[in-house]
Structure 1
Amino acid sequence: MRQTSVLALQRGRTYPGAEQYHVSCPTQTIEVKEGDDVKLWCQLDPTVDLKEYTVDFTRPDHMKMVVHVYRHGSDHPFLQSELYRNRTRLVHQNLREGRITMWISSVQLTDTGPYKCSVQNLKANCTIRINVVEQKDAFTTVGPVTSKDPGKCGETIQGQHGQIVWDRESNNVNLDGVL
C-alpha cells in the first residue's frame, strides 16, 4: 500500500486548480534486521525533475532530527544528525524521474520509527515507518560429531558465540561457549 498526498503547483508555487502532483510512499512498516541496509523511497507523479530542489529526510518523532539533506544539486552532510552521518546515501540519478530514494546503512535498533521525506519547495511530503528487529545469533550445522566409542555420534552446531554439541545416543547437549 502507498500513502498519497496531493499538491497543486505551477512554477514551484502552490496554486489552487493548477496541475496536481501525487506523492506516494510505502504505508506498511518496513521491517529490517539490525545491521542490514534499508531503502526509503517516495515518488512524485507526474514526474518532476528534483535535481535542483530541496529534499530532506527527518525523524518527526525525535524533534525533527535531520537524517539527510539535499539542496541545489548536492548533499549536505554537515547538516545531518551525527547519528546518521556516513550512514545515508541519496540516489541522485532517481531525482530526475521524481523519485526520492535514500539508503540507510547498518541500521540500529534506535533507527526504528517514522521518517519524513519532504520536498520543501513543493510543500510535498510523505512519512515512511521502519522497524528494526534485533539480529539473533545464527547457528549453522558444522557436521557430525564422532567419538572413539562406535555408535556414539551427534551433531555440532556452530554459532557466533560458541557451539552446541548434541550426543544422539545419550541425548545430552553440551553448550560450549554459548551465551
Structure 2
Amino acid sequence: MKMFVLMLIFLYVSQHASAVDMDEGDHFLLPCEFPTFELDDPTVVWTRYDLSPSTVHQRQKKGDDLKNQNPLYRDRTSMRTDALETGDLSLNLTKLQLSDSGTYTCSITAARGEKRVTEVLLQVKERFPFWANVYQVLLVLLADLLLVTGGLLVHFRQYFMSVFQVEVDSGAESVLLPCKTTVCLPGDVKVKWRDRDGRTVHVYQKDSDKTGEQHRFYRGRTEMKRNLLKPGDFSLTLKYPTDRDRGTFICTVYNREGNQLMKKKVLLWVEVCQVEVEEGVESVQLPFRTTGDLPEDTEVQWRRKEPEPTIVVHKYQNGSDQPEEQNQFYRDRTEMKRNLLQTGDLSLILKNPKVRDTGEYVCGVYSRNIWRLKTVLLQVKDRIQDTDQTVDIRNRSSSTDPTPLMADQSV
C-alpha cells in the first residue's frame, strides 16, 4: 500500500517550525543534527514515548545498540555509519506503515550529561484511491493547458520524470545539474531542488533565490541562471562538489497554485579523492577546497576513521589551531594554510608521511550556518631502498609495524 508523508519539525534551538510534504511512501529521513564529535562518549536515541518499549533506534560509538528496539521497527531503521563523527544523526525509516504516525524524539547524551532533543511529528496517511488520483491529474492538466502552449502531448511529457546522470572528479570547482524544458512556462513559477534525503538544495521564485530555505549543507554552494524563465533552463550549479554530494537530485517546477508542472531527476556521482605517496617524502597534502569567506565561528576538523575509534588529526577553531585536541601520533606533523576561512582552502599538510598514516580521512566544516564534509583516501606506500621498488602495504600484516597507532583517551 502506497503512502505519503506529512512531516512537522520542531527544533528547540531555533524555536522554528516548518512543514515538508513528501509523496514517496517507501522510506523517509527523520532529521536530527548536532555536533556530537565534541562530546565524550555520546549516545543517540530515537524514541516514541507512546510505545512500549519506546526505543526506535539507538547508536553509540561502537555501533548500533538495538537490544531494546521496539519490534515494530525491526530491520526498518538505519543511521549513517559516520553519524557520531559528522553530527548527522538523521534516522532513515523504511517501509512506512500507518502505525508509524507519531512523535519521534532524538536525544543526545554524553558522559558530562549534555543533552539535546529534536522532535519530529510524522503523519503517514493512505494515498487517495486510484480513480481520485486520475481525476485530480486530469483537472491539473486541463487547467495548465490554458497557460502552457505546446499541446497535450508535449505538456504531458513534462510530467514524466527523466533521469540524467552526471559524473565529476573530486576537486572540481563546480558541476552543472541539468534541468531544461522546451515548453513555455508561466512567469511566476517556483523551482525547487531537493536531494535524495528531502533536504532543500535551492529554491528560486519571483526572480530571486530563497536562500533562507536552503539546508546548511548547501548554503553558499548553489547558483541558478538569471532570467532563467525565458530559455526554460532550471539547471543548478553546485560548487565544490564532494563525495558527500553523491546521490539523486530532484528538480521540481510548480505554478503559482502549487501544482507540479515538471519534475526531473539528476543522478550525481562524485569520485572519492585519493592521494598516493611514498614513505620518506617531506610532506603530502590532503586537498579540500570550498567557498571562501566562511563565518568566523567555523570549526574545521580533520579526523581519521581508521583505526577505530576515529581520532582527531587536526582541529582549527576560534581563529587558530587546537594542538591539544590532536591525537599524539600527529603532534607537530600537521599544518593548515593561513587565512583558510577567507580563501576556503581547507587542505591539510601532513609532514613525514608514514605507512601507518594510510587510511580514510574526513574533514568536517561546522558553524551555525554551514555544514560541509569531504573524504580523502590516503595511501602511503613502503619504499624498499635496495631495489627502489614500491610495494602495496594493504596486504601486509600489521605485525610488521612494531609501533601501533594509539588513540587519545579524550576522543
Q: Which deviates further from its counterpart, 52-61 or 67-76? A: 52-61
Please state whether the residue corresponding to 1:55 is helix, strand or coil: strand
**2:171–2:288: 8 Å Cα contact kept in structure 1?**
no
Distance 1:58 1:138, change over 3 A: same
Structure 1: 4+ residue segments shifted above 2 A: 6-9, 14-20, 22-28, 47-52
Kept in 1: contact 2:171–2:289 (CA 8 A): no
* Corresponding residue to 1:111 among 331, 353, 357: 357
Residue 50 of structure 1, CA deviation: 5.6
d(CA) in 1 for partners of 2:273 and 2:349?
A: 17
- Give TM-score scaled by structure 2 length: 0.30
Alignment correspondent of 1:99:
345
CA displacement, residues 115-137 of structure 1 (integer Å, 9 cap, x when unaligned) = 10111222211001110000221
Change (3 A) 1:107 1:115: same
1:75-128 alpha-carbon deviations (Å, 9 max, x no partner): 011100000000001112343111112100011111001110111222211001
Map of 1:64 onto structure 2:
310
Structure 2: distance between partners of 1:136 and 1:51? 46
Shift of 1:64: 1.8
What is the match of residue 158 of structure 1?
none
Residues in 2 aligned to 1:101 and 1:3: alpha-carbon distance in whole angstroms: 11
1:35 to 1:50, Cα distance in 2 relative to 1, 3 A: farther
Q: CA RMSD in A?
A: 3.1
How many angstroms apart in 2 are the aligned matches of 1:2 and 1:69? 23
Amino acid at match of 1:130: L
Q: Secondary structure at the match of 2:339?
A: helix
Residue of structure 2 equivalent to 1:2: 170
How far is 1:27 from its partner? 2.5
**CA contact under 8 A between 1:56 and 1:66: conserved in structure 2?**
yes
> Is the alpha carbon distance of 1:39 and 1:126 closer, same or farther for their aligned partners in structure 2, counting shifts above 3 Å?
same
Q: Which moved more, 1:82-91 or 1:36-45?
A: 36-45
Structure-1 residue corresponding to 2:385: 137
Paired position in structure 1 for 2:39: none
Q: Secondary structure at the match of 1:100?
A: coil
- Aligned partners of 1:35 and 1:105 also within 8 Å: no
Distance change (3 Å), C-alpha of 1:28 and 1:74:
closer
Percent of residue pairs identical: 24
* Residues 30-109 of structure 1: pairs in structure 2 closer than 5 A: 30-36=275-281, 37-45=283-291, 47-49=292-294, 52-62=297-307, 63-109=309-355
More deviation, 79-88/112-121: 112-121
Give the direction of change, closer, same or farther, for the CA distance of 1:50–1:106 in structure 2 (3 Å limit): farther
Determine the C-alpha separation between the residues in 1 that align with 2:382 and 2:304: 20
Q: 1:51 to 1:135 in 2, by over 3 A?
A: farther
8 A Cα contact 1:51 1:92, kept in partner:
no
- Asked if the contact 1:58–1:67 (Cα under 8 Å) also holds between the matched residues in 2, the reply is yes
Unaligned residue ranges in structure 2 (runs of 5+): 1-168, 173-194, 203-210, 222-238, 243-270, 389-411
**C-alpha separation in 2, matches of 1:15 and 1:58:** 30
Larger fraction in strand = 1
